[in-house]
Amino acid sequence: MDDPDFTALQPLQVTIVGLGLMGGSLALRLKRDHTVRRVVGLVRRAESAAEAEQMGAVDFATTDPSSALANADVVVFSTPVRVLTAQLRQFAPFFKQGAIITDVGSTKRQIMAELAALPPHVHPVGSHPMCGKETSGLAAADPHLYDGATWVVSVPERTPPHAAETVRRLARAVGAKPLSLAPARHDRLVATISHLPYLLSAGLVLTAKSVAADDPQVWHVAASGFRDTSRLAASNVQMMLDILLTNQDSVLEMLAHFGDRLDALADAIRAGDESQLRAMLDAAAQQRTALFPPSSSP
C-alpha cells in the first residue's frame, strides 16, 4: 500500500486503555484494516479481555499494565476523564522511552495538565474524536464509528512534531479528520455543541417526568419529536458526570447563553410578537439546514 499514513503506522504497537465504545471501535478498525503491527487492550476485568480477544478487536488483551504497556509505541487512553487522569499518573512508570501517549477524552484542559506532568522520556498528545453513541461498552463498538468525524488534536510545547503527526496519521487511518485546537478553545466549543445538548435532552425528559407525575398520559402522546430530542438523555451517566465536572466553567457559560436565548423566545411569545418570533425561528431553521442539509439526514 502506498498510503504514507499506513506505511508509517505499520511497525507500531498500539495499546488501548479501556475497550468501551470509543476504545473498542478504534481497536476494531485498526485490526480490521491491519493498520498497525499489534493492537493490545488494557482492561479492568479478565472477562473483558477474553471478550475483546474473542471478537477479534485486539491481538492481545490483559488486566496487567506492565505487559500491556511495556512495548507500546502508542498508548491511547479511552476511559472516563477522571479515571483517565488518575491512570496517566498510575501507569507512567510502565511507558517505554519515546512512547506517544494520547487519549480520546471529551474534555481537554485537565487531561492536558496531566499529560504535561508525564516523565520527559515520553511524548504526550491530547486528542478527542468528535463522535459517539448514546450506547456504551465493547458490545456497542463499531469499526465505522470514526468515519468522517473531526478528531481534535492538542499538542503540548514539549512534544516533537513526529509524535503529533503520528496521532494525526492514526486519526486519518480510521477515517477521521484531524483538527488542531488549544485545550481551552476545545472545551468551550464542545460545551456548546456536545455538553449543552446533553443537558437540554436530560432537562426535557425531567420536565416531562415532572408533568407525568400529575398526568401520566404525557408519555402516550410522546412521538418522534420527543424521541429525537431526548435521545442524548440515555447516554452513559458516569461518562457525562466526568465530562460536566471537568468542564464546569464552559458548561455553565453555555447554559447561561442558552438561558438568554430561551428568555428571548419566551418574551416574544408572551408579547405575541409574531415578527420577532418568526425572525428567531427562521434564523435557527436556516442555520440548522445549512449545517445539516436534508439530504444528509439519516
Q: Do 195 and 154 reside in the same domain of the chain?
A: no
Q: Do 74 and 159 reside in the same domain of the chain?
A: yes
Q: How many CA atoms lie within 13 A of 178 on its CB side?
A: 19
Q: Do 229 and 275 reside in the same domain of the chain?
A: yes
To the nearest whole percent, how much of the chain has pLDDT over 70? 98
Domain boundary (181, 208, 237) is at 181
Q: Do 91 and 34 reside in the same domain of the chain?
A: yes
Q: Do 220 and 204 reside in the same domain of the chain?
A: yes
Label residues 250-267 b or e (16+ Cβ within 10 Å = b). Answer: bbeebbeebeeeeeeeee
pLDDT of 296 above 60: no
The pLDDT value recorded for residue 3 is 86
Domain boundary (181, 202, 228) is at 181
CATH number at residue 95: 3.40.50.720
CATH number at residue 228: 1.10.3660.10
Backbone angles phi, psi at 16, to 5 degrees: -110, 120
Q: What is the pTM of this model?
A: 0.91
Q: How many CA atoms lie within 13 A of 61 on its CB side?
A: 26
pLDDT of 297 above 70: no
Report how far residue 125's alpha carbon sits from residue 264's, in angstroms, rounded to the nearest whole number.
41
The pLDDT value recorded for residue 4 is 87
Q: Are 43 and 63 in contact (CB under 8 A)?
A: yes
pLDDT band at 6 (very low <50, low <70, confident <90, very high): confident
Q: Do 175 and 229 reside in the same domain of the chain?
A: no
Q: Do 123 and 61 reside in the same domain of the chain?
A: yes
Boundaries of domain holding 283: 186-296
As for how many domains the chain has, the answer is 2
Domain boundary (154, 181, 208) is at 181
Q: Do 225 and 208 reside in the same domain of the chain?
A: yes
Q: Do 15 and 78 reside in the same domain of the chain?
A: yes
List, for residues 185-241, the tens digit of each pLDDT value.
Answer: 999 999 999 999 999 999 999 999 999 999 999 999 999 999 999 999 999 898 899
Q: Do 120 and 263 reside in the same domain of the chain?
A: no
Q: Do 173 and 213 reside in the same domain of the chain?
A: no
What is the C-alpha radius of gyration for the chain, rounded to an integer number of angstroms? 21
Q: Do 120 and 212 reside in the same domain of the chain?
A: no
CA nearest 27: which of 13, 17, 16?
A: 16
